[in-house]
Structure 1
């Protein structure tokens, strides 16, 4: 009789302890917190990381990374993150030194770190143009850096990262062809792109556009009256139909160019707003890299063809 009572107690003990022990064994690991400086990088991370990561973004829509100063909240995000990705090539301007030092504490990776320098645009001061996302096939090559970093940090899900990376790379390959088909509808003589700052050099090289920016590669360089007049004369001489504003750059400089062109007897339209250093709002198509690129190309083609 006593043996039966002990057996019953043992079974009850297993039943009472079993569920909680099982729950502890099957509780899923929380997503990896990954910080990204600009939206274009954050979007790649989301595609590659999928359900295994939580993206913490620093710079939102309309933010200029060249002039950006990190806030107290940004420092908190960087502290909380397990991995940090940034553009590199001096894209983040004033943040660059801080990001490089952060690599001593946690993996902090420039997505451009493994690109062949021969594919980059060398500027006059021995540095490179950081706006590589405007050449879709060049931007596609940053996927591998992100996928390899995530797989190294979280080898349990390496196969998922590789699969997601391959799928997203295929999407970007298709996007590149889509761009080329759209641009083919614009006469070659009309393929001149003029914007507030010189962010579209890779776009011009990849897709056959002559590109002019009123300001330099960084918006930290200011345009003077001579720059405005010189660009206005170029527009009038070439009889260019449209020029473009950017979401992250004040419109006043392009308005000044438009007025200077009009004073020379040629009417040039504002062809629309392009996304250069920042994507659109998160709840819009332009809030994704592919949606941003499609918006830009459609806007350019409709204004110039």
Structure 2
């Protein structure tokens, strides 16, 4: 990590990239994003007026992600860097801090109203960073991305605004669909047990009791006592299914299932949910809208 920081500082000292082509015409904006959710969002707002490079692909855990030298090069050549913030990208925070004042870094989570965030005495930021599972918060992300892009590239501001309007309509449709789908699941069955606490905002929005085997960050592993405690909870509440996550090793949930089965209670693995990353690029689940619909369908069908 120290080596990477030295590279960052050295590159910054050398100066900033020229934003003009040799013929005097402005280049399209170079944008670097961290999580795949933010990458998808910026592509929707920026369209073909921006070049977006996401650091984290499908199945990548942002809590544990470390910047490579290639990442540092992308960050240096960016006009704007969008990231989640709220300490989600814990191991990248120091890199971003070194770039402040030299590069435009935008922590989207920092623009959310703090009184609406879920706090935690156990997490470094004191807030749950998995804010994209509240669609209203993701709308605020879209508005902020539009503002930044418009300020950076005012000649295309009207097109950014049009793209934002179209995307916000899609998010409104998603909200209505999710609400209707979840309404089919009785309230007493809305208990969501996953590998780590990534779904608290989802639970708050749709009336789920969300329980994660690990805490808000995957940096700490679940212990034997955690597994036993949660297995008892599953039995006491007659939970039908538990869920693995695409960005967390499945062994954590398999260990939980084994603990439940050892106590003569059956619980199935209801499927794999996308939590800290979208699905494969080019797939339906590789978009924020597709990921959300997929997750809701898997959860409702498994818990019915």
TM-score strictly above 0.5? yes
Q: Is the 1:103–1:109 Cα contact (8 Å) retained in structure 2?
A: no
CA separation in 2, counterparts of 1:96 and 1:171? 32
**Structure 2 residues without counterparts, runs of 5 or longer:** 1-21
1:217 aligns with 2:207: no
**Alignment partner for residue 98 of structure 2, among 91, 97, 101?**
101
Q: 2:244 is matched with which residue?
A: 245
Secondary structure at the counterpart of residue 93 of structure 2: helix
Instruction: Tell which structure's C-alpha radius of gyration is larger.
Output: 1
SS in 1 for 2:192: strand
The answer to whether residue 299 in structure 2 is matched with residue 300 in structure 1 is yes
Match of 1:89 among 82, 86, 109: 86
Mapping of residues 43-82 of structure 1, within 5 Å: 43-82=40-79
Match of 1:21 in 2: none
Aligned to 2:265: 266
Separation in 2, partners of 1:31, 1:280: 27
Displacement of 1:101 = 2.3
Q: Distance in 1 between matches of 2:25 and 2:190?
A: 53
Match of 2:153 in 1: 154
Q: Give, in whole Å, the separation in 1 of the partners of 2:220 and 2:176.
A: 34
> Mapping of 1:171-250 within 5 angstroms?
171-250=170-249
The 1:28–1:175 alpha-carbon spacing in structure 2 relative to 1, beyond 3 Å, is: farther
Structure 1: gaps (5+ residues) = 1-23
Equivalent residues, number: 281
**Partners of 1:113 and 1:300 in 2: CA distance:** 29
Root-mean-square deviation (CA), in Å? 1.4
Q: Give secondary structure in 1 for the equivalent of 2:56.
A: coil
Can you list the C-alpha shifts for 1:170-199, whole angstroms capped at 9, x where unaligned?
Answer: 111110111110001111110000000000
Equivalent of 1:30, from 20, 27, 31?
Answer: 27
Counterpart secondary structure, 1:112: helix
Counterpart Cα distance in 2 of 1:150 and 1:214: 39
Displacement of 1:28 after TM fit? 6.5
Q: Note if contact 1:137-1:173 (Cα within 8 Å) is conserved in structure 2.
A: no
- TM-score (norm: length of structure 1): 0.90
Task: Note if contact 1:38-1:65 (Cα within 8 Å) is conserved in structure 2.
Answer: yes
Q: Distance in 2 between matches of 1:254 and 1:100?
A: 35
Q: What is the CA–CA distance in structure 2 between the aligned matches of 1:109 and 1:238, rounded to whole Å?
A: 42
